[in-house]
Amino acid sequence: MFESFSEIFDPRTRCSYSIDEIFFGALTMDLLKCGSRNQYNNLWREEPFRQNFECQFKLSLPHADTIDEVIRQTPPEYLEEIRTRLVKHLIENKSLRRFRIFGSHYLVAVDATGIASFNERHCPHCLMKTSKNGVVSYFHYVLEAKLVTTSGLAISIGSEFIENPDGEDYDKQDCEQKAFKRLVRKIKKAFPRLPICLLANGLYPTDPVFDICLEYGWNFIITLKDNALKTFQKEASLFKHTAKPRTVDLACKGWEIYREYKYLNDIQYHKRKFEWLSLCEIKFQTETGEITENQFVYITNIRQNIENVIETADSGRLRWKIENEGFNVQKNNGYGMEHKYSRLNYIAMQNYYLILQIAHLVNQLGEISKTLTIILQEHSKATIKDLWMKLFGYLIFVEHIDTDRPPG
Ligand SMILES: [Zn+2]
């Protein structure tokens, strides 16, 4: 990563910090979960913090305004490329192999999320919405692709900003469906041979999405809402009673859970045939007697049988990890994804978002590392948040940390 940062084109003619110091400073804002440039500057003003940082990383830490000046002028493609390199490294290291579905395909969830909203136009690329009362609001959305795992990792592998073209002269605003085509093209280019199983929500069972998956040789497990693909669902309903269910009984943490999986192969849809899959889950809370029932229905191109139906449906349900472990954590667990790190500059907004994706990857791996896992086990009441506060304290109040001695 350090090497990649130093390869970024430096737009400055005179500078007191190297380009890798600028980008590592930007990354530090997110690694330390500062949540804002202001909070980062408060840390930066503490001299022992800067000295300790330098001792640990052998890099000087710039002020957030110095970082911002460079971030505004750097094409986002540099950071996209660095993220691709890091993810490729993880894949080549086989670190994520055991999370592949049926030992072959990586699970990649796609979904869009808001990153900023404004009462006034912020840049020429803003999306616009007019409320019932005629009030216009401006906002930015990004379409994300994250590699998700059963262990709870959500690793960004592609981001496409949903944005209007320059100027006011366009018929229709950009949208998630259009951005999806651009996003998958980027992913295919970055990871041409990566076997992917796409997980997507009820917006995605459409012909263009099926076409892309077939063209790229990807598998897919896509949520089917009640009113989606009516002919496909009607055909499936004709044969549903013939589907032989596979059932599972589980008991965990005060719940008794019953799951019933059903599938049908070769259901006709627009001259093609796909598989229909359903999971009905009934949960019984042993203490209160409360019963909840949930039904999940999917369309997939993975041929189903009694052996693979459970893994397919359970993988389909991992889609929510992009919302929970991905967007929710980045918005609410100190990263401040929606915070306006750069109020006016659209390039900077994209770059801060991409840096956040890299920092979140580093932190996720750090948080499951042996060192942290052991600390958390030894202090049964400690949380990651507690550890972060202690880390701040350590970096601010312990003067001249000796890097030759491991921290106690
Ligand atoms: Zn804008």
pLDDT digit string, tens, across residues 296-342:
999 999 999 999 999 999 999 999 888 888 888 888 888 888 776 66
Q: Mean pLDDT over residues 78-107, rounded? A: 96
Q: Residue 375: what pLDDT? A: 87
Q: Find the 134 Cα to ligand 1 centroid distance in Å.
A: 20
Nearest to 117 by CA among 133, 103, 135: 135
pTM, two decimals, is: 0.93
> What is the tens place of the pLDDT at every residue in 205-264?
999 999 999 999 999 999 999 999 999 999 999 998 899 899 999 998 899 999 999 999
Q: In sequence order, what DSSP letters do the residues of 23-70 get, joined into one string?
A: HHHHHHHHHTT--SHHHHHHHHT-HHHHHHHHHHHSS----HHHHHHH
Rounded to the nearest angstrom, the distance between the alpha carbon of 113 and the centre of ligand 1 is 15
Q: How far is the CA of 281 from the centre of ligand 1 (A)?
A: 42
| C-alpha of residue 203 to centroid of ligand 1, in Å | 25
Identify the pLDDT of residue 252. 86
The pLDDT of residue 27 is above 80 = yes
Q: Quick one: pLDDT at residue 94?
A: 93
Q: What is the mean pLDDT of the chain?
A: 91
Distance 330 CA to ligand 1 centre (A): 20
pLDDT tens for 73-86 read 999 999 999 999 99
- What pLDDT is stored for residue 168 in this prediction? 65
What is the reported pLDDT for 408? 46
The CA 355 to ligand 1 mean position distance, Å, reads 19
Q: Provide the pLDDT for residue 235.
A: 92
Q: What percent of the chain has pLDDT over 70?
A: 96
As a whole number of angstroms, the distance between CA 407 and CA 390 comes to 12
Expressed in angstroms and rounded, the spacing between residue 163 Cα and the centre of ligand 1 is 8
> Does residue 346 register a pLDDT over 50?
yes
Can you tell me whether residue 74 is helix, strand or coil? coil
CA of 165 relative to ligand 1 center, distance in Å: 11
pLDDT at position 341: 64
Position 26: which residue type? Answer: A
The residue that leads in pLDDT, 170 or 173, is 173
Please state the rounded mean pLDDT for residues 78-105.
96
Instruction: Inform me whether the pLDDT recorded for 21 exceeds 80.
Output: yes
Share of the chain above pLDDT 90, in %: 71
Whether residue 89 is predicted with pLDDT greater than 50 in this model: the reply is yes
- Please give the pLDDT value at position 15: 86
- Lowest-pLDDT range of 91-95, 186-190, 231-235, 339-343: 339-343
Q: Which of 11, 152, 156 is nearest to 73 (CA)?
A: 11
For residue 352, the CA-to-ligand 1 centroid distance in Å is: 14
Of the candidates 149, 153, 156, 147, which has an alpha carbon nearest to the alpha carbon of residue 98?
Answer: 149
Specify the pLDDT at position 354. Answer: 96
pLDDT at 402: 62
Mean pLDDT of all residues in 26-46: 91
How many angstroms separate the alpha carbon of residue 180 from the centre of ligand 1?
A: 20
C-alpha span between 64 and 29 (Å, rounded):
9
Name the pLDDT band for 400 (thresholds 50, 70, 90): low
Say how many Å lie between the CA of residue 103 and the centre of ligand 1.
42
Distance 128 CA to ligand 1 centre (A): 9
Low-confidence winner among 3-17, 92-106, 160-174 (lowest mean pLDDT): 160-174
Cα–Cα distance for residue pair 5/362, rounded to 1 Å: 15
d(CA 57, CA 51): 10
Do 24 and 2 meet the contact criterion of CB atoms below 8 Å apart?
yes
Q: Ligand 1 centre from 201 Cα, in Å?
A: 26
Question: What confidence tens digit (pLDDT) does each residue in 113-166 have?
Answer: 999 999 998 889 999 999 999 999 999 999 999 999 999 999 999 999 999 987
In SS3 terms, 289-321 reads as CCEEEEEEEEEECCCCCCCCHHHHHHHHHCCHH
Q: How far is CA 220 from each of CA 124, 148, 265, rounded to the nearest angstrom?
A: 35, 14, 14
Q: How far is the CA of 114 from the centre of ligand 1 (A)?
A: 12
- What the block records as the tokens of 405 is 């001695």
Structure-token pair, residue 255: 């719940």
Higher per-residue pLDDT: 389 or 406: 389
Rounded to the nearest angstrom, the distance between the alpha carbon of 125 and the centre of ligand 1 is: 5
Helix (H) or strand (E) holding 351: helix 346-367
